[in-house]
Amino acid sequence: MKKTYINGVGCISAQKTFDTVFLEEAVYNQNETILSVLAPVYKDFITPTAIRRMAKGVKNGIVASALALKDARLENVDAIITGTGLGCIEDSEKFLKNILDNNEEFLTPTSFIQSTHNTVGAQIALSLQCKGYNFTYVNGAVSFESAILDAKMQIEENEANSILVGGIDENGDYTTSLFKLAGRIKQDGEQPYDVLNPTSTGTVFGEGASFFVLENEKKDTTYAQILDVEIKNTLEENEIETEIITFLNANNLQISDVDAVVFGLNGNITFDSYYTSLAENAFAKTPQLYYKHLSGEYDTASAFALWMASKVIRTQEIPEIIKVNSVEKPAYNTILLYNQLNGKNHSFTLLSK
Amino acid sequence: MEALKEELKNKIITTLNLEDIAIEDIADNDPLFGDGLGLDSIDALELIVILDKDYGIKLVDPKEGKSIFQSIETMAAYISANRTK
Amino acid sequence: MKGVAITGMGIISSIGNSVEENFISLIENKIGITRIENISTVHADVIKVGEIKKTNAELVNELELPEDNNFSRTAMIGAFAAKQAVKNAGITSINEFRTGLISATSVGGMDMTEKHYYDYFKDPELTKYISCHDGGDVADKIAEELGLKGMVTTISTACSSAANSIMLGARLIKNGKLDRVIVGGTDALAKFTINGFKTLMILSDDYNKPFDNNRKGLNLGEAAAYLVLESDEIVEKQNKKVLARVSGYGNANDAFHQTASSENGDGAYLAMKKAFEVSGLKPNEIDYINVHGTATPNNDLSEGRALLRIYEDLKVPDFSSTKPYTGHTLAAAAAIEAIYSVLAIQNSVVYPNLNFETPMEEFDLKPQTSLKMKNIEHVLSNSFGFGGNCSTLIFSKS
C-alpha cells in the first residue's frame, strides 16, 4: 500500500503565513472577537478577468493552492479535494439579502454561483484545467479531515499520485453577528480573550485557507508522512483517551511515542475540558501545542494545525507562541493532532517524519 | 444616444467588476464577448438583469441576449427602441 | 468485480413517502410536479416544483421530535429517509459494527435561515436555528436520530453530491475502513435555490421535458434518500438479503465553466469511462441508463454527446430521465435515482422519460418513452453538478 506524504504547503491565515519562515512574526491578538486573514496581493496570483467575480474564500483558496503547488514543485495534480464548513458565506449572505430586500426581483447569478460549497475546488480545477477527481466535504469541524481521509484512500488505492487538499472558510459579517447572538463567538468587551485561561463560553472566530500537496512518494520537498486520520462524530469526554490509545495502537504506537500533540483548544470553558483532561493526564509528559489563538476558530481551522505540525517536523523547532507546556523532546518526529468542536466531530490525525 | 452609451459603459464596468477597464477602453463597436471585452455567459445574465431593472425590458430566453449584447452600439439601439422606463 | 452490497433503502420525494410508493408512481406515471405550497414566493404562479406535500409540523410529528427541536426541513426529510433505510436493512443495533454515515446536501438548513434571517435579532426563540444553517448539521442530526456515533461526514458538490456520497461509502467498505455505511443525500426546497436557478434562467415554467428539442429548463424538487451498504462479511454472517450492488463509480471534473457543461461533455465522458474501468463492465453490458437529464438546454446536449462518445458505433441502451416525475432534487437527486436504479433491476423495468415529444436536432438520441419490461443486469446512473462536477454510478444485480 502506497504511503501519503505532504510535499507542499500553502497557508493564508490571520497570521503572516504566506511569505515567512514559520510564525516568526506571529501575533497573539487577545482583544478581538473576530480575526481576519492577512490578505496576500491577489493580483500576483490571479488574472484580472478571473478575479473580478471571486469570493474571498475562492481567492484565498487559489493563492494557498498555488503556494502549495509551487512548494511541491508541481504544475498540476491528479485530484482536488477540499473541505469547508460554510463555503463562501459572504456570497450566500449577499444573495439571500438580495432575495429578501428586493422581494425576489432583479437578482443576479454571480453570488449564487459563488455560494455553492464546491466553488473553491471547482475554480481551482478550472484554473489548473484539472479534470480529475474533485470532491468537497462540508461537515463542520471534520470537513478538512474528511478531505484528508479521502485523499489518503485515493493514494492507497492507486487512483491518484498527487492530490491538492485544502480547508477553506471565510468570515461573513452578518453570519458572525448571528454567531455572536447564538453565543458561538465571544461577546465584545470581555477581553483579554485568553485561550489557555478562558473565563467565558464561545470562541474567538477566524478564517483562512490552507492547502497541501499530497503525493505517494517521498521527495526532497517532503514535510511529513500522514500515517492515519480518524473521524468520530460522537465521543464522551471520558472516552477520548481510550479512543486515542486505540488509534495509536492501530499504528503500532503508544502515547510515549508521540513527540508533540496539537490540541484544538479554543478558549470555550464549556468544551476545552475535552483537551485539558488529556493535557493533565495522558499527555502530561508530551510537548503540547495549540493554534486557535493565532488562527481563530473556524470549521477548517484544523488545516492551519496541519500546516503548523508539518512545519514543526520540517524545522524541528517549536515556536514559543504555540507552546502549551514547557516539555521538550530531542526530536519532533511523530505528531498527533486532536480536534473537536462543541464536543462533536472529533478528529485524530497522525504525522511522522 | 451618446449619453446612453456612456451610461451603459459605466454600468458594465461597475456591475461586472471590470476594475482595470476605463470608459475610454470600450469603443462603441467593440465586441463585448469573446475576443473583445472578454465577457462570458454569466456576464450575459448580469446584463439581462440590467435591462430588466434599469430599462424595464424583460428577456425570457437568454439566447435573445446574443444579438443584443454584441456591442455597446447594439445594446444602446435595442434599449432605446424597447425601453419602458 | 462483485461490487458493494446494498441491503437497505429509504426515500421520501414528491412521488412518495416510501420505496414502494415511489415505485408505484414510477410505473403508473404519477408525477409529483405541482405548484409550490409550503414556501411563499413571488414566483409561485410561474414555476412548478416537485414538492413533498408534508408541512414541517407534520414532519416534526411523524419523527416524534421534541417541541424545542431545531431541525431544518432538510434534516427532517433526511432523518425520515435514513431511518427507513436502516429499518429496511434490518439493523437493530447501529453501532454493533463500524458504521458510518455519508450524507450529502447543497442547501443544508437554508430553509430555516431564509425564513428567520432578519428576525433572529428580534425573537430569542429563533436563536436555536442559527446553528442549523451549515451542511454538516444535517448529518449530525441524522446521526443522532439513528444513534450512530462513528464516522459521519457530508459531501457537497452541488447536483452530483449524493452520487459522491454513495461512491465514498462504497470505497470505505471496499477499503475495509467501515463495515457498514449509510449513504445518500437530502435537500429541501428553498427560496434560495429557486431564485438561484431562476437567475441562471434555467427554470422551466412548464413540466420539464428531458432530451426534447423544445425543452425549456428544469423543475426544482425536494427529496431525501439513503441506502445502506454493507461488507460481504456482514452480509454472509447475518445472511442478509442483497438488493443490488454498487459495481462501478467514477468522478471527474469538466473544468470548463462554473455552471455550464462543456459542449462535448468531457467531464461526463470521463466519469462514465472511469465507472466502466472500476466495474470491469463494457458499455454494451448496460441495460438501462438513468440519465442526469435535467431538461436544461445545456445539460441534455452535453450529456447526450458524452453518451454518444462512450458508445461510439454501438447503440446507446434504453435510457430515461426520471426528473419529470420528481423534479431536480439537487443533492438528493443521485440518491433517489440510485434507488430507482435498484428498483429497475429488481423489477425488470425501464421507466419512461415522460413529456418527450421531439428528438433533439443535434443528434439521433431518443429516450425510452413508455414503460418497458425487460431483464436488467446493470444500470448506469449519471449525476452532474455545478463546478463541472460529474459522477457516474453503476448498479448491478446481485
In a domain, A211, yes or no: yes
Which residue from C minimizes the CA distance to B43?
C200
Is position A222 within any domain? Answer: no
Q: Are residues A53 and B49, on separate chains, in Cβ contact within 8 Å? A: no
Nearest CA in chain B to A105: B53
Q: Are C227 and C186 in contact (CB under 8 A)?
A: no
Instruction: Give the percent of chain C with pLDDT over 90.
Output: 98
The Cα–Cα gap between C330 and C161 comes to 8
Which one from C43, C133, C257, C328 is the annotated catalytic residue?
C328
CA distance C143 to A34: 31
Across B31-50, average pLDDT = 90
- The CATH H-level superfamily of B2-82 is ACP-like (1.10.1200.10)
Question: What pLDDT does residue B60 have?
Answer: 85
| Same domain assignment for residues A86 and A131 | yes
pLDDT class of C1 with cuts at 50, 70, 90: low
Q: Does residue B39 or residue C28 have the better pLDDT?
A: C28
A209 and A171 in a common domain: yes
Per-residue pLDDT tens over the stretch C192-249: 999 999 999 999 999 999 999 999 999 999 999 999 999 999 999 999 999 999 999 9
My answer on whether A17 and A160 are in the same domain is yes
Domain C4-238 falls under CATH 2.60.15.10: no
Q: Is A136 left (phi over 0), alpha (psi -120 to 50) or beta?
A: beta
Judged by CB atoms closer than 8 Å, whether chains meet at A110 and B20 is answered as no
Q: How many domains does chain A have?
A: 2
Distances (CA, A) of A250 to A227, C25, C118: 10, 49, 49
In a domain, A220, yes or no: no
In a domain, A221, yes or no: no
State mean pLDDT over C260-274: 95
Cβ distance A108 to B49 less than 8 Å, yes or no, reads: yes
Kindly report the length of chain A.
Answer: 353
Split at pLDDT 50, 70, 90, the class of A84 is: very high
Asked about C292 being catalytic, the answer comes back as yes
CA–CA distance, B23 with C393 (Å, rounded to integer): 50
**What's the complex ipTM?**
0.97
Hey, are the CB atoms on A109 and B46 less than 8 Å from each other? yes
Q: Is A299 in contact with C136 (Cβ distance < 8 A)? A: yes
Mean pLDDT of chain C: 97
Interface test with B, best of C201, C216, C261, C263 (most B CBs within 10 A): C201
The reply to whether A100 and A207 lie within a common domain is: yes
Q: How close does chain C come to A322, measured CA to CA in Å? A: 29
Q: Could you tell me the CA-to-CA distances from C115 to A96, A112, C49 in Å, in that order? A: 10, 18, 19
CA of B74 vs chain C CAs: smallest distance (Å): 22
Give φ, ψ of B74 to 5 degrees.
-65, -35
Chain B residues within an 8 Å CB radius of C257:
40-41
CATH code for C245-396? 3.40.47.10
Rounded average pLDDT over A24-28: 96
Q: How confident is the model at residue C325 (pLDDT cuts 50, 70, 90)?
A: very high
Measure CB to CB from residue C253 to each of A117, A132, A153 and give the nearest one. Answer: A132
Domain residue spans in chain B?
2-82
pLDDT of A148: 98
Task: Scan residues 282-311 of C and list those with Cβ closer than 8 Å to A.
Answer: none
Kindly identify which residue of chain A lies nearest to residue C202, measuring between CA atoms. A109
CA distance C212 to C369: 11
Q: Domain segments of chain C: what residues?
A: 4-238, 245-396
Average pLDDT over residues A183-202: 95
Q: What is the CATH number of the domain that holds A15?
A: 3.40.47.10
**A232 and A193, same structural domain?**
no
**CA pseudo-torsion sign C251, C392, C193, C190:** negative
C260 at B interface, C-beta within 8 A: yes
Whether A312 is in a domain gets the answer yes
User: Residue A107: which of C110, C114, C195 has the nearest Cβ?
Assistant: C195
**Percent of chain A residues past pLDDT 70, beyond the cut:** 100
Are A83 and A61 in contact by the 8 Å Cβ rule? The answer is no
Instruction: Pick the residue from chain B with its C-alpha nearest to A53.
Output: B17
pLDDT one-digit tens code per residue, A250-300: 999 999 999 999 999 999 999 999 999 999 999 999 999 999 999 999 999
Q: Provide the grid cell at C333.
A: 437527486
Specify the residue for cell string 438561484.
C196
Cβ neighbours of residue C125 under 8 Å, at least 6 residues apart?
none
Question: DSSP letter string over C130-186?
Answer: GGG-SHHHHHHHHHHHHT--S-EEEE-BTBTHHHHHHHHHHHHHHTTS-SEEEEEEE
Q: Do C143 and A105 touch (CB under 8 A)?
A: no
User: Quick check: B35 pLDDT over 90?
Assistant: no
Give yes or no: residues A165 and A306 share one domain. Answer: no
Q: Is residue A293 part of a domain?
A: yes
Query: CATH topology of C4-238 equal to that of C245-396?
Result: yes
Cell numbers describing residue C41: 414566493
Give the mean model confidence (pLDDT) for residues A329-348: 97
pLDDT of residue C235: 97
Chain A interface includes B7 (CB < 8 A): no
Instruction: Please tell me whether residues A240 and A109 are part of one structural domain.
Output: no
Closest CA of chain A from B37, distance in Å: 10
Contact C258 A234 (CB under 8 A): no
* Whole-number pLDDT of residue A211: 98
CA A325 centroid distance within chain: 22
Cβ of residue C159 closer than 8 Å to a chain A Cβ: no
Do residue A232 and residue A208 come from a single domain?
no
Of the three residues A185, A215, A245, the one that is the final residue of a domain is A215
Q: What is residue C396's three-state secondary structure?
A: strand
Are C153 and A157 a contacting pair at CB < 8 A? no
For residue A139, the chain C residues in CB contact (below 8 A) are 135-136, 139-140, 152-154
| DSSP single-letter state for residue C125 | G
Q: What is the pLDDT of residue A217?
A: 97
CA dist., res. C224 & res. C342, Å (int)? 16
Chain C, residues 178-197, CB within 8 A of chain B, namely none
What one-character-per-residue DSSP string does A46-67 give? S-HHHHTT--HHHHHHHHHHHH
Secondary structure, 3-state, C57-91:
HHHHHHCCCCCCCCCCHHHHHHHHHHHHHHHHCCC
Q: What is the pLDDT of residues C37-53, one digit of tens each?
A: 999 999 999 999 999 99
Interface probe, candidates A52, A158, A233, chain C, greatest C C-beta count within 10 A = A233
Q: Which of A80, A99, A69 is nearest to A7 (CA)?
A: A69
Whether the pLDDT of residue C93 is over 60: the answer is yes
Gap between the Cα atoms of A89 and A302, Å rounded: 19
Other C-beta atoms lying within 10 Å of the C-beta of residue C44:
13
Residue C365 has pLDDT above 90, yes or no: yes
CA distances from C386 to A301, B50, C215, C393 (A): 26, 24, 20, 18
Active site residue C159: yes
Most distant CA atoms of chain C, gap in Å: 65
The answer to whether residues B45 and A108 touch, using CB atoms and an 8 Å cutoff, is yes
Q: Which amino acid is at C68?
A: D
φ and ψ at residue A230, rounded to 5 degrees:
-140, 145
Based on the fold, state whether residues A10 and A46 are members of the same structural domain: yes
Which residue of chain C is at minimal alpha-carbon distance from A347?
C151
C328 is catalytic: yes
Mean pLDDT over residues A146-160, rounded?
97
Q: Identify the DSSP state of A103.
A: T
**Mean pLDDT to the nearest integer, A69-90:** 97
Interchain CB distance below 8 Å, A108 and B20: no
Selecting among C116, C132, C133, C159, the annotated active-site residue is C159
Measured distance CA(A220)–CA(A233) in Å, rounded = 36
Chain A positions touching C137 (Cβ under 8 A) are 140
Per the listing, cell 436557478 goes with C197
Using a CB-CB distance cutoff of 8 angstroms, which residues of chain A are in contact with residue B16?
Answer: 52
Q: Quick: pLDDT tens for C122-137.
A: 999 999 999 999 999 9
- Report the neighbours of C using a cutoff of 3 or more CB pairs below 8 angstroms: A, B
Contacts of C259 in chain B (CB under 8 A): 42
- Which band of pLDDT confidence, cut at 50, 70 and 90, is reported for residue A76? very high
- pLDDT band at residue B36, thresholds of 50, 70 and 90? confident
Taking residues B8-30, what's their average pLDDT? 91
- Whether residue C3 is predicted with pLDDT greater than 70 in this model: the reply is yes
C258 pLDDT band, cuts 50/70/90, is confident
What domain range includes position A232?
227-352
